Each structure stands twice: as structure tokens, then as C-alpha cells.
Structure 1
């Protein structure tokens, strides 16, 4: 059996490239190309036979041939010779009824995303614990005139930031070697163990530095988990619903935040041990992850990367509704891997890190993922997730009312994440970001200005809470789910682990900076000044996204190779000279006749199959309707 990187029938890639003018690293024409397009049918079928013999798949050669023909021209699958009616119905239904997927697919994605609840729960656990653990450890001096005041502020921030520091510098960067040797499932199990034991340890600590160490260990698990689970989900899910399912990572993060606020309230009256219960209870979501990951299939793309095609096919059989879909996806992904391997080749870990910034196609993905990840911290969500109890207390709330107000934030954050399941694949990642950032900016500014209302007024706390809730409502369906979903899909398979590590490390490093600096910032700038500062960062993030973040919705992971081959300058020029003027004409001047020239040109890609299947399904339903009318007459 072929081992990792053992791609032998290179002539297939050569045949495709002979008919293809697309430059994989400098796609000036912005053409999205099917890697199988342009190959003569006799050559394609011969390649399939060689492929099947090489990877011990000879028993399914006829099925692979049909799958390759379907993959070569997705829009014309209705006319592929040899397909039976059942296979045509399945291929049609995957578009018309795109959410009709196997139970194993949903179970795998949802179970693994449950691990994100650990991160969300810990955020709000430490949020509530901030009201009591500093006092318990003697670092809670709140008197500005005390010589220990500034030191204690920095220590509290450092302890809260510990998981994010460890994630950014250790956990995330462990994900590439862990994935290389143990696969996606093994890496997730490794991270779940750290997330399970470290939070229990946090509840048993006796001084601040023991708590700091336990939270560093939590960060190792969080970083490797956050760098792997979204990739694992993205590699398993069909392109049409990839965003909606991969964003379940953020859904469970939001659910974890909500559960953490519930736990904070539940243990409110437990006295001196309340902070221990608030921190320790975050172990609960890790339990089903530790047990359940054993029953999930390994990522087919990871198995193919290792040359284990027979196992990849078995995984695809569990993750798709019919063998024809599994055969099609297996061969289509293989075809793109040949091109990736020819252009990028095999490199070691250190080289892959360097290539994030040197290979043009990879560098553009690095820039885009950096932008969406740092924007998640620039928007200011984590000043609320980490410190909402303290923020509400500064707004004049009691300890109980602070926890109740934080519960409201957690509830809003969770409920408003649900629309993204539909919107992320309908409107797209880029559109959601461009819509939410301006709205997050003004709501954050309004919340800061509400601190100027006299504290003895009943409107003071109510207005602060209202605008913070509105801020969360805009964040949850936009900048909430997009960064991890987006970063998991934009890198080629050769650099997917290290690329995701870079993206998550970016996000969590700046989360640690935010966590460390917020207590001191709010003391120096007042809540109004600090909230205004993050309002300005929202506007800067909006500009970065507008210029540097391409759309990825409903594109297969392999088609995105061509999207990120388009030069950054061409992308920026298009949105400055065409996209922005169109938006003004259509939505400001209300010119309904305004049109926008598309940036990308598509050639025999999956979206063609979407249109074809939709038209066929519509025509069938129309014929049935007409027949029914005639019978009724």
C-alpha cells in the first residue's frame, strides 16, 4: 500500500494541466477549475483503473469509474452512463435536500464540537470566579491607593489569560505533529484528557500559582483541540452545508458560555468554595468527548494524505448516503491532491511553518485566517465573556445581579448563534462579517456611553446591559461562528494542520493580551474609554475584512485552492472599484437595476451540479403538479 505522499500517476495531473491555463499560485483569471476537467474519458478511466490497483480498491473499480465521471462534469451527472435511477436520485437529493445526511456525520461533528463547550464554560467559570478567587488567594486588593493594587490587577489578568497563553505558544503548535502521528481522532482524545483533568485540578488549588499552572495545562488541551476539531469537521462535511455544521464549534462554545453562567448562579450561595465549583464544573463537557471520539470515523482526507485509501473509502461510506458519493469524493479529492503535491510537494514541520508566508496560495490563506481570527479579539467580545461580572459590578450591580446579568449575556450569545446554521452557507462568511462589525461597533460605543449615566439612576445598569446584549446578538451569527469555520477550510491539505495552528494561536494569543490588559485598561481609561477603544478596533477590523477576506461559501475544500490563488491585489481592486460602488448604488441609492460583475469564473465545479439538480427537481415537481391537475380535472 502506498504511504504518505506516494502519489505515483502524475501523468493524470499533467494531462489536466495541459488543458488548464490556471496558475495554482497566481490565478490572475480568477478561474475556479475542476481538476478533472479536460481529461479525455478514455484517459480518465485508465487512470481510475491504475488508481484502484495501486490503492487496493480493485473490487470497486466500476463504482470508482462512475464516481470519476460524475466528478468530472458535476452538472451533467444525469447523463453519466452506467448510473442507475437510485444513484441519480441520491446525487439529486444531496442538493435538493442538502441536510439529509447520515446520522454518523451529524453525530461525529456534534460530538467533537461538544469539546468547545469546555472553552466557553471555562470563560464564564473564571468570569464568575473573578469575584471571589482573588480574595481567597490574597490578590484581590481593590483599593487604588494600595501599593498592591496594580500588581493584583495584573495577576488576576495573568491567571485568566493562562489558558490562552499556553494555547498560543504550546497547544496550537502541538496539533501538527499530533495530527501527523495520531490522526484527527487521536489528537482530539489527547486534548480532551487535558481539558478534563486540568479543570478539576483548578478547583483543588491552594494558591494563585497552582491555579496558574493548572490553567496553563488547560491551554495545552484547548489549543490542540481548537486547531483540530474544526478541521476534522470541515474535512468530513459536504461543501453545501460545511459552514452550517462546522460552525457547531461556535454553537457549543456559546452553549458552554451559557452553561457556565448557569453554573455560576447555581453555586452562588456555596460560600468560600463557590469559585472552586465555578472553575471545576467545566470538566463536564469533556467527558462525552473522551468517550465518544472512539466511535467516530477518521477523516477521509487525513487517511488519503497517509496513502490509506481503503480506510478513507470506508470512512466516506459512513459519512455519505450512498457508495456513489463516497467513490466520487474519494477520486475527486485524490485528483486535487495530485496537483497540490506537484506544486507544493512534501516538507517537514519547520518548512511548513515557513511556507505559510512564502507560497503565494498558502500566504493568502494565512493572511485571511489571521484577519478573521484577530478580528474576533478586536471586536471586544471577550471583554464581556471574561469580565462581564466585573463590568456589571462596575455599573452598580450587586454580586448576585452581576451574575444574573452575565446569565442574560450567555443566553443571548447562545440563542443568536442559531441563525448562523442557515445564514453562513446562504449569505456567506464574508457577508456576515461585513454586516456584523459596524453593528458591533455602535452597540459597544453605546454601552460605554451608558456608563456616563448617573449610577443612582435605574437606567444606568439597564442601558449598559441592553447594549451589551445587542452587541452579543450581532456577534453570535457573524464574527462568532465564522473565524474557526473559515480558518479550517482555507488551507490546502498539505498545510491544513499548521495553518489552523497559526490561526488559532493568533486568536488565543490576542485573547490572552485582552485578558491581561483589560483590568488595568478599564482602571486607567474608565469603562467608557475602554469600550470606545474597542469600538474603533471594530471599524479597523471591518476594513481589514473588506480587503483581505475572500468568500468561501459552498466551495469544496479543493476548489478553494483556486480561490486563494487569486492575487490579493486583484481581490482588493475588485472590491474597491466594483463591489463597493455596487453596494452604494443598490442599497444606498436604491437602484434596483444595479449589477455586479462576478470576481470568479467557474468551470465544471460542484455549483454547476447544484443548479442542474435544482432545475431537474423543479421540473419533476412541476410535471407532477401538472399531472395532478389534469387528473383532478
Structure 2
């Protein structure tokens, strides 16, 4: 097993840009200051004899000589993916599978769907715990005599995100040591024992301690699972499959609200069952995670090439597709390593702010994570029961209304499976944020209606449900998808950890302060405050968030190589005037120059 990259392929892995001779300069131009916004295939332009010789050396180095012909065909397809029909080395069976990638993009191996489903199941605990705490808020403060201490209640509710925001940084060394599957198994243990222990606590600080310990596992898990899923799926439907993480969070929220209703009649002990029941999704994950293939890109990162190829074969419909994806990713990985490969945790951490390509990914991930929290959805998850109680519902009707919130959240997450890779990440957010803002304003204004008004309670519930319907296919699934895909392989774990840190930090602050905010400025003021934050997020996303849809994880190096000022200038100075002409003045002939130019893939976007 090789432990370091051989020298032979570094020149072939280097990105080919016009009029740039030195390999190091090519890398710097592409990733640090991609002024011309070019997306380049690392294999484009290499003469066929040289490409095949490089493939032969690759196979010999990593003990894959028996698969030489497969890798030769895979490399030729990776070099000209749009014109694979003209490659004479391909058999009709090879071309059949490559055609179906386009015509039947959801027809994928059962091992891939098994991996996605099992990993995503691990995220259900996050939503289930949020809603378990939501229902428990109605009873545990009274039992522990802290019902009037809103800050302490907020601290207990937000404890998992508080400990999770620091634990997220452990995802980098843990993934490096034991891989994606090992980390998912390890964090699953935190999702069983501390969760069950909540049911047996006899005081508020015991409950707080259990939730803090549980948060350690959650912080690492929600960093790792989206990375695992993003690394195993094809680029064309990556968003739709990676967003299954959020779909299962929504499912956990729905099941949590159902659990709250089931245990409601128990009385003052209901909160113990409502909190402890969330352990259930972790059990099958702990047992069956070892039957999933390990992430082939993590194996590639460790230069365990034979195992990476075997994993790709389980996740693709043909060996040629597996060889294509492995050889392409391998060459791009060598380029990334030469450009900004960090050898230590501290180096990788400083690269998040020091290296331009990685700094832009850090900013993009932070934008979507902050936008998700500023949308106000976690306040609904934690405190919808409190909000409905303030609106005038009794305890049972409060839980029923919260169940409706969970049902809407789950059902409306499904459209994103088909729209996130076609409509795009940016467009989903730009469409949903203004709509969420006016829904919050409308719901807040309904609190001003007299308590005697018959329409008061139904209108409040309606606008909260409508807010949730806009949230679920937009800012709901996008952050975890975006954070998992925007960083290079060399910095993916620590980059995703930085995004989860931002998410959990803001979630902790909002969860901690919302009870006091609600008491201080009333529901109307609180909803108006979050509506303003939604519109602020809209403006920031419009100018500063790059689109990532239907790009391979390796191609995104060039997307995030485009300087932020150029991205903002394009959307403010080129796209916006075009949109005004096209959609406001109905000038159908208005033309616009695309921001990104593709080289070596046979097209332009």
C-alpha cells in the first residue's frame, strides 16, 4: 500500500490553462485567483499516448494492472466526458451505462441507496431531539422548579448545540484516524446512552449534563454524515441525495411530535419519555453501518487506491464508471495537495482563512449556515409549543398544532430532491427567503388580533405552516449539502466542521435567548426581527454565494477560485441589469454573458 503520491502523475494532474507554463503557477491561477472564471478538466489536452502511459504507471504503482484496460477506458472518458460516443475503445455495454447516466440518472446501485439511507437515518435523532425538547418544555421546568427561569430553560434546550459546536472540530482528526464509517459508529454511541439517561435524571443539572454529552456526538455526526454522502454520489444528483440528511431531520421532527402526542397522557412524567425516545434511530445505524462501503474519496486520500476502486465499483453501475471517477478524482487530488494540502490540524485550520480558494468556501459555508439559523426555523423546532401556547392553545391543541408544523416540514422537504440539482442552490434560497420573511410578518401581526377573534389562532397556525412550507425545500436542505461539497478533499473535514461550528454557535445563541426575547418584545416583535434577518440573508446570498449544482467535487475548485469581488460584480453589474430588462421590461432578446466558462468538458455554462 502506497503512503505517498508518486511523482509521475503530478504534471498530468496539473490544471491546463492557456499561456501558463509553470505547473505551480497554473495551480495558483486556477485555485487562488481564477480571474477568468474557467472550469478546467485536469486531463484535458493531454495527448492520448501520454495519457495511456500515465494510466499504465498508475495501475502498476497501485497493483491494478489486471484492470489496466478498464482504467484506460475510464481515463479516456474522463478526458472527454461529453464525447464518449467517439471513443473507439469503449464497448457497447460501456456506452450503455454511460448513456443511462444522462437518461436514467436515478438508476443507481442498491449499495449506493443503502448507504445514503442508512447514513441519513442517523440524522433523524437531531430532529427528534429538538421536538422531544419542544414537548418536554411543557412539563420538565415545573417538575424541577425552574419554570420562571427562562435563561436556564433555554440553556438546557440548547445544550446539545453548545457542546456540539466545540465537538465539531473533532471531526477532522477522528475522520483522519478511523474513516467516515468509524466516526458514524462512534458518534452513534452518544446518540443512545446519554439520550436514554435523560429519562432517569432527578434534577435539572443532571438533565443538562446528559444533553451536553449527547451534543458531543451530534456535533461530530452532523459534520461527517453529509461529507460521507457527498463523496459517494454522482455529481448530477448530488444535491438531491445529500439533502436526504435534512429530509431525515425533518422526518425526525415529525416522529418527535408524534411521540410527544403519544406520551402526552402520561402526565407529569411525559417529558422523560419524550426526550428518551429519540435513541431509536441510532440502533440500526450502529449495527448496519459496517455493511456500507467506505467513502472512496477518503480511501483515495489515504492512497488506498485498490480499496477506493472496490468502493467505487459498489457505488457505480459499471467498472468503467468507477475507474473514470477514481482516476479523475485522483489527478485532481494531487493538484489540490500540491496547491494547498495541509499536513497538520493547525495548518488546515489556518488555511480556512489564509488560502483564497478555501477562504471562499469557508465564507460560502458560513453564509448558508448563518442564513439557516437567521431564518428562525430552529426557534419553531424548539419552541413551537411555547409559541402556540402563547397564542392561546391548550396543552393538547398545542402539541397537535406543533405536529402540523412537523408534518409540513417533512412533506415539503421532498420537492428539493428534484429541484436542488436543477433549480440550483442559489435560486432555491433566493426564492424562499423573501417568502419566509412575509410569512413571519403576517404571523406576527396575527398576534395583535384580539384574543376573542375567531380567526386569530387559525391564522397564526396558517402563516407558521406556510413559512415552514417555504423553508423545507430551500434553506432547509441547502446548508448541509453546501458545506459538504464546497471544500477540497484535503480540507473537507475541517471545513465542514467550521460550518457546523457557525451553525451550532448561532443555534445555541438563538435557543438560549429566544425565551427571554419572546417575553421581552412579544411574539410580534420576535417574528418581525427574524423577518428582517431573512431579508438580510437574501441580499448576502445574492452577491456572495457561488452556485455549485451539477459540478463534480473536483470542479468546484475552480468555482471557488473565482474572486469574491468578481462574483459580486457579475451579479450586481451584469446579471441584475439583464434580469430587469428580461423580466421587468420583457425584452426577450436581452443577452447575458455567463460567469463560468468550461474548458475541456465540451461546453460553456
TM-score if structure 2 supplies the norm length?
A: 0.97
Give the aligned partner of residue 430 of structure 1.
426
* Structure 1 consecutive aligned stretches of length 4 or more whose deviation exceeds 4 Å: 4-8, 14-22
Shift of 1:203: 1.4
1:592 paired to 2:599: no
Is the 1:425–1:553 contact (alpha carbons within 8 Å) kept by the matching residues of 2? Answer: yes
Partners of 1:5 and 1:521 lie apart in 2 by 55
CA distance in 1, matches of 2:602, 2:185: 34
Matches within 5 A, 1:541-560: 541-560=537-556
Q: How does 1:124-163 map to 2 (within 5 A)?
A: 124-141=131-148, 152-163=149-160
C-alpha distance 395-246 of structure 1, shift in aligned 2 (>3 A):
same
Root-mean-square deviation over aligned CA pairs: 1.4
Equivalent position to 2:68, from 61, 65, 76: 61
- Deviation at 1:14? 4.8
Residue 469 of structure 2, aligned match among 473, 487, 490:
473
Question: In the TM superposition, what whole-angstrom CA distance separates every residue of 1:298-322 from its partner, at most 9, and x where no partner exists?
Answer: 0000000001000000000100000
The equivalences for 1:73-152 within 5 A come to 73-141=80-148, 152=149
3-state secondary structure, aligned to 1:452: coil
Give CA deviations for 1:506-535 in whole Å, capped at 9, x if unaligned.
Answer: 111100111000000011101100110000
Q: Taking structure 1 as reference, are residues 357 and 296 closer, same or farther at Cα in structure 2, changes over 3 Å only? A: same
Structure 2 matches for 1:524-543, cutoff 5 A?
A: 524-543=520-539
How much has 1:61 moved relative to structure 2?
A: 0.9
CA contact (8 A) 2:17 2:40 kept: no
Whether the 8 Å CA contact 1:32–1:601 is kept in 2: the answer is yes
Which deviates further from its counterpart, 93-102 or 453-462?
A: 453-462
Over 3 Å counting, the alpha-carbon distance change for 1:295 and 1:19 in structure 2 is farther
Query: d(CA) in 2 for partners of 1:509 and 1:338?
Result: 34
Measured in 2, the distance between the counterparts of 1:374 and 1:138 equals 34
Q: Which moved more, 1:395-404 or 1:585-594?
A: 585-594
Matched, 1:255 2:251: yes
1:582 Cα deviation after fit? 2.2
Gaps of 5+ in 2: 21-25
SS of the residue corresponding to residue 496 of structure 2 reads helix
Give distance in 2, aligned partners of 1:274 and 1:501. 35
For 2:597, the equivalent position in structure 1 comes to 601
For each residue in 1:218-250, what CA deviation from the matched residue of structure 2 results, as whole angstroms up to 9, or x when unmatched?
Answer: 111111111000010000000001000000000
Matched residues in 2 for 1:605 and 1:299: separation? 26
- Between 585-594 and 214-223, the greater mean CA deviation after superposition: 585-594
Contact 2:5–2:334 (8 Å) recurs in 1: no
CA drift at 1:587: 2.5
Q: Secondary structure at the match of 2:353?
A: coil
Give the whole-Å Cα distance in 2 for the aligned partners of 1:40 and 1:321.
28
Cα distance, 1:85 vs structure 2: 0.3
- Distance in 1 (CA, whole Å) between partners of 2:63 and 2:158 is 50
Flag the 1:479–1:566 CA change in 2: closer, same or farther, 3 A: same
Distance 1:157 1:4, change over 3 A: farther
Query: Gapped runs of 5+ residues in structure 1?
Result: 142-151, 612-633
Q: In the alignment, which residue of structure 2 is the partner of 1:379? A: 375
SS of alignment partner, residue 528 of structure 1: helix
Kindly state the Cα deviation for residue 595 of structure 1 after the two structures are TM-superposed: 2.9
| Matched-pair contact (CA < 8 Å) for 1:125–1:261 | yes
List aligned pairs for 1:248-397, cutoff 5 A.
248-397=244-393
Matched, 1:188 2:184: yes
- The answer on 1:39 being equivalent to 2:35 is no
Tell me if the contact between 1:556 and 1:606 (Cα under 8 Å) persists in the aligned partners.
no
- Residue 12 of structure 1 corresponds to which residue in structure 2? 12
Q: Hey, what's the Cα distance between the residues in 2 that align with 1:188 and 1:15?
A: 34
Report the secondary structure of 1:602's partner residue: strand
1:24 maps to: 31
Q: Give a deviation string over 1:119-149, Cα, whole Å, max 9, x none.
A: 00000000000000001111013xxxxxxxx
Query: How many residue pairs end up in the alignment?
Result: 598
Counterpart residue number, 1:164 = 161
Q: 1:15: how far off? A: 8.1
Pairing 1:472-511 to 2, within 5 Å after superposition: 472-511=468-507
TM-score (norm 1): 0.93
